[in-house]
Structure 1
Amino acid sequence: MRSLFGLLAVVTVASLYLYSLSLHLPAGPRRRAVPSAHAHGEHLDTADESAHNTEEPSRLKFPSDLEELRELAELLQFYKTEHTGYVLLLFSSAYLYKQSFAIPGSSFLNILAGAIFGLHEGLLLTCVLTTVGSTMCYLLSQAFGKQYIVNFFPDKVAMLQGKVEENKDCLFFFLLFLRFFPMTPNWFLNMSAPIVNIPITFFFFSVFIGLLPYNFICVQTGVMLSELSSLDDLFSWQRLLQLLAIACMALLPGALIRHFSQRHLKLNVKPAQNGVITDKKLQ
């Protein structure tokens, strides 16, 4: 019971911090006057501009579809012109919040990173935040959630424990395989890793490397969406070749890991009739 109260306290503090951060937006950059107002010789006064800015914080929320994602990207791009530090802090805090508490929707934030920060900065940022956030989830599970995870998912934990034991001689490559070809969801692997005795160093670097192709695809998608002015641009030869290159780059690491797994990893664990566990290598 003490661990449950501790976890609730951490979630509450983190939620209040993120909520307060989203409410206290800095003053936005000066917007250009509306063209129709110029036509009549009118200008936005200070009160109207202030009222307009106060409406912006209500739009700060986790996106649930592409339309909300595009609106949020436009808003944060607008603020990033003069408040890069604030946008970076807000994005990083929201990303770590989702990763630390295993909340679905990180793909939208990866796409948002590409739209706001570009390919190189966005990819580096998402890889670091994914790794740090997953490690925080690992530590939270280790401190507060072990008994609850075992109680709620006994079969999945037992299965993962058996596979970890069978592949302990090449554990790091087994973890990479699980990231490239998920046999169990990433959120469950993050929470159950300390329970099945996966060292935090192996866990940390396997997340950084194993989710790199996924992060790359999402970030590049965000870059492309931010550059599109119409759907016709998506089907240009340049975009199609770009998508082909992305697919090849994303599939290459997975192919190498799969080739290694066919020779060294034991992935099919089946109980025999006499109760003895028998192993079969991936065919």
Structure 2
Amino acid sequence: MQAAQSKATSVERRRIVVRAFAQLAILFVVCAVIMGGTLYFALPDIEDEDKPAFKIPKNFDQLKALNSVLQRYKDENFGRVMLCWIMVYMFLQAFSIPGSMYMSILAGAMWGVPLALPVVCASVATGATICYLISKFLGEVLHAIPSWKRRVDSWKEVLDRQRDDMLSYLIVIRMMPVPPHNIVNILAPHLGIGIPLFWFSTFCGIFAVSVIHVTIGEKLDQMASPADFNLFTWRNALLLGGVCVAVLVPVVLRKRSGA
């Protein structure tokens, strides 16, 4: 009897997982079509010799090539180029596709820090929220996979201890490399974190690292080789550390005053 129940549970779990992956594939295709349609209708006419540069940059040379091409098009098609950039960035965030760092740097190169910074932060937060909504829609699969269910239960215990300082806690999580941001996006809707809090904490949490990326981008035209492309500097480390301290100070003060 117990073996039969275990087999039934296993079959049901497999059915849930297969259905979830099928739904995810459909969502991916729909979003890809929406993004592709936006690029098709919004992008200005691209010269044949420029088309090879139009791809998600994966290294310094590809980033330089794409920036060089877009610089020529953005002056006469500012809004169109920005719309296409935002659509691509949100798509990458929504489906946890690599390339966001280079897209942030590209934004700094095209628009400068004052404009690029809020656009990057808003695009990251919105793309992450799309991932949040996808995870919420496919939520049943998380409970069907034992390893993910354990993660959800473990994080619920952690967050229950941080309810009074949830915003600060989520901001700090976004600033840290661990856990990966896509894991946070996937788990958040199942941990009682609402969309407004999720979006705002994401916007604030990636602010410091986005400052670094867009600042590097602003100087991209002056860089001659990957050797000039340096993310890990004392200045950047101090910036991240300073923001962490600023976020945690209110938490420490509140806990001391309540002691």
Q: Which category of TM-score, normalised to the shorter sequence, fits these structures?
A: 0.7 to 0.9
Provide the aligned length of Structure 1 versus Structure 2.
232
1:212 aligns with 2:207: yes
Q: Distance in 2 between matches of 1:244 and 1:166?
A: 33
Q: Distance in 2 between matches of 1:264 and 1:158?
A: 27
Query: By percentage of residues, which structure has more helix?
Result: 2
1:255 aligns with 2:250: no
CA shift digits 1:172-221 (9 cap, x unpaired): 22112211234411111011100111122211111111110011111111
Tell me the SS of whatever aligns to 1:153. helix
Contact 1:100 / 1:136 at 8 angstroms: preserved in 2?
Answer: yes
Q: Which has the higher contact order (CA 8 A, sep 6+)?
A: 2
Q: Distance in 1 between matches of 2:86 and 2:170?
A: 25
Query: 1:13 — aligned with what?
Result: 30
Q: Choose from 110, 116, 133 the match for 1:116.
A: 110
Q: Distance in 1 between matches of 2:217 and 2:142?
A: 34
Q: CA deviation at 1:21?
A: 4.4
Write the mapping of 1:150-169 to structure 2, written as runs, cut at 5 A.
Answer: 150=143, 151=145, 153-169=148-164
Contact 1:22 / 1:60 at 8 angstroms: preserved in 2?
Answer: no
Q: Distance in 2 between matches of 1:140 and 1:189?
A: 13
Contact 2:35 / 2:87 at 8 angstroms: preserved in 1?
Answer: yes
Label 1:229 to 1:101 Cα distance change in 2 as closer, same or farther (>3 A): closer
1:201 aligns with 2:196: yes
Q: Distance in 2 between matches of 1:230 and 1:4?
A: 44
1:147 aligns with 2:164: no
Q: CA deviation at 1:253?
A: 1.4
Q: Distance in 2 between matches of 1:259 and 1:7?
A: 40
CA shift digits 1:38-73 (9 cap, x unpaired): xxxxxxxxxxxxxxx124233211111111011111
Q: Choose from 62, 78, 91 the match for 1:97.
A: 91
1:27 aligns with 2:49: no
TM-score, structure 2 length as denominator?
0.79
Q: CA deviation at 1:259?
A: 4.6
Q: Distance in 2 between matches of 1:112 and 1:187?
A: 22
Q: CA deviation at 1:138?
A: 0.8
Write the mapping of 1:115-134 to structure 2, written as runs, cut at 5 A.
Answer: 115-134=109-128
Deviates more, 1:10-19 or 1:213-222: 10-19
Tell me the SS of whatever aligns to 1:155. helix
Contact 1:119 / 1:223 at 8 angstroms: preserved in 2?
Answer: yes
State the structure with more CA Rg: 1
Q: CA deviation at 1:154?
A: 3.4
Query: 2:72 — aligned with what?
Result: 78
Q: Distance in 2 between matches of 1:54 and 1:178?
A: 44
Q: CA deviation at 1:76?
A: 0.9
Q: Distance in 2 between matches of 1:154 and 1:3?
A: 15
Q: Distance in 2 between matches of 1:26 and 1:92?
A: 16
CA shift digits 1:143-182 (9 cap, x unpaired): 12x2334415333323212111121222122112211234
1:69 aligns with 2:63: yes
Query: RMSD of the alignment, in Å?
Result: 2.8
Label 1:137 to 1:55 Cα distance change in 2 as closer, same or farther (>3 A): same
Percent sequence identity is 27
TM-score, structure 1 length as denominator?
0.72
Note the residue ranges of structure 2 that are not aligned, 5 or more in a row: 1-15
Contact 1:22 / 1:57 at 8 angstroms: preserved in 2?
Answer: no
Note the residue ranges of structure 1 that are not aligned, 5 or more in a row: 29-52, 236-242, 266-283
Tell me the SS of whatever aligns to 1:194. helix
Tell me the SS of whatever aligns to 2:219. helix
